[in-house]
């Protein structure tokens, strides 16, 4: 009789232990599911908030420059209709190829500060106290940064930016939240600039270039195209570079690449062109 009682207690204890374990597992699974759901909701909320964009473009529209030439990069921003009270743009560049000269704000309603360092420039803009309403950026230009090209080479301009962080590049909304979620960069190339005259051969390194055609339409013709044809002869082989711009589709052809060499058309008349050779 006593043994039966003991076994009964053992069985009851075992069942109770199993029940407790099951309850514990259910609670843990429920808690984990709740955390996963909360994390997903937080991520979704953050994604919805990080709708702002910042970008870098060449102020002149060209990406090829000669040594000694001034390179101007424009900082742009879009806040997706959200009012903005401030921004930080931390921009990195190659100091071996470029030398920082100056930075200028393009916004009258913002106070502006520029802090240059070796290989980086920090721009800070804050809404002036005298300005009543925050700005809404719509592909707006914020500032111009000027550099001098020092030597031949590729130069990337990049934002120091980590999505969701506030200690780097950011766009500050009127709710004091960073809304910057995307940045775009720009690359320029420093090379040599040459003037080619119509039907005149020019020897450049191991290549011979000849301007065959340079057609400039009348300014009254909105849908006409300008056409420039240049032959490149190298190692007994000849190749024609054709640059076509304008027309119904607003075609833009400024660069052609042959091997490791990029040819960029900077300017053209009916008798000559300026060609940047980038390697």
Same domain, 85 and 202: no
- Which of 160, 190, 220 terminates a domain? The answer is 190
Same domain, 159 and 63: yes
Distance CA 197, CA 209 (A): 10
Same domain, 176 and 69: yes
Same domain, 130 and 154: yes
Same domain, 173 and 220: no
Q: Give the pLDDT mean for 130-134.
A: 89
**pLDDT (0 to 100) of residue 33:** 57
Same domain, 70 and 111: yes
Residue 9 has pLDDT above 50, yes or no: yes
Q: How many Cα atoms sit within 13 Å of 135 on the Cβ side?
A: 27
Same domain, 36 and 154: no
Q: Which two tokens stand for residue 208?
A: 């011979």
Domain that holds residue 78: 52-190
Same domain, 43 and 68: no
Residue carrying structure tokens 């300026």: 274
Least reliable range by pLDDT among 3-12, 13-22, 28-37: 28-37
Q: Write the burial class of residue 7 (CB in 10 Å: 0-12 exposed, 13-18 middle, 19+ buried).
A: exposed
**pLDDT (0 to 100) of residue 38:** 52
Total structural domains in the chain?
3
Residue 45 has pLDDT above 60, yes or no: no
Same domain, 60 and 168: yes
Handedness of CA 9, 10, 14, 15 (dihedral sign): negative
Q: Is the pTM of this model over 0.75?
A: no
Cα 207 off chain centre by: 34
Same domain, 121 and 81: yes
Residue 105 has pLDDT above 50, yes or no: yes
Handedness of CA 132, 137, 141, 147 (dihedral sign): positive
Distance CA 109, CA 127 (A): 6
- Which of 132, 164, 190 terminates a domain? The answer is 190
Same domain, 274 and 235: yes
Q: Give the pLDDT mean for 126-131.
A: 94
**pLDDT (0 to 100) of residue 44:** 44
Same domain, 268 and 149: no
């Amino acid at each position: 009789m006593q043994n039966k009682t003991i076994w009964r207690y053992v069985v009851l204890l075992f069942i109770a232990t199993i029940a407790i374990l099951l309850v514990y597992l259910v609670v843990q699974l429920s808690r984990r599911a709740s955390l996963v759901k909360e994390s997903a909701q937080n991520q979704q909320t953050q994604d919805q908030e990080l709708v702002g964009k910042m970008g870098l473009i060449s102020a002149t529209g060209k990406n090829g420059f000669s040594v000694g030439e001034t390179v101007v990069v424009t900082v742009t921003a879009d806040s997706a209709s959200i009012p903005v009270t401030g921004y930080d743009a931390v921009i990195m560049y190659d100091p071996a190829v470029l030398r920082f000269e100056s930075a200028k704000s393009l916004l009258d309603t913002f106070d502006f500060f520029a802090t240059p360092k070796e290989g980086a420039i920090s721009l800070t803009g804050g809404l002036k106290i005298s300005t009543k309403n925050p700005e809404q950026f719509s592909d707006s230009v914020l500032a111009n940064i000027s550099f001098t090209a020092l030597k031949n080479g590729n130069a990337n301009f990049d934002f120091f930016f980590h999505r969701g962080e506030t200690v780097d590049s950011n766009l500050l909304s009127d709710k004091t939240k960073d809304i910057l979620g995307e940045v775009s960069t720009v690359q320029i190339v420093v090379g040599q600039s040459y003037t080619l005259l119509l039907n005149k051969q020019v020897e450049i390194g191991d290549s011979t270039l000849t301007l065959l055609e340079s057609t400039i339409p009348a300014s009254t013709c909105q849908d006409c195209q300008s056409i420039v044809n240049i032959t490149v002869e190298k190692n007994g082989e000849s190749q024609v570079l054709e640059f076509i711009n304008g027309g119904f589709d607003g075609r833009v052809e400024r660069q052609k690449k042959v091997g490791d060499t990029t040819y960029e058309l900077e300017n053209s008349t009916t008798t000559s062109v300026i060609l940047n050779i980038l390697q």
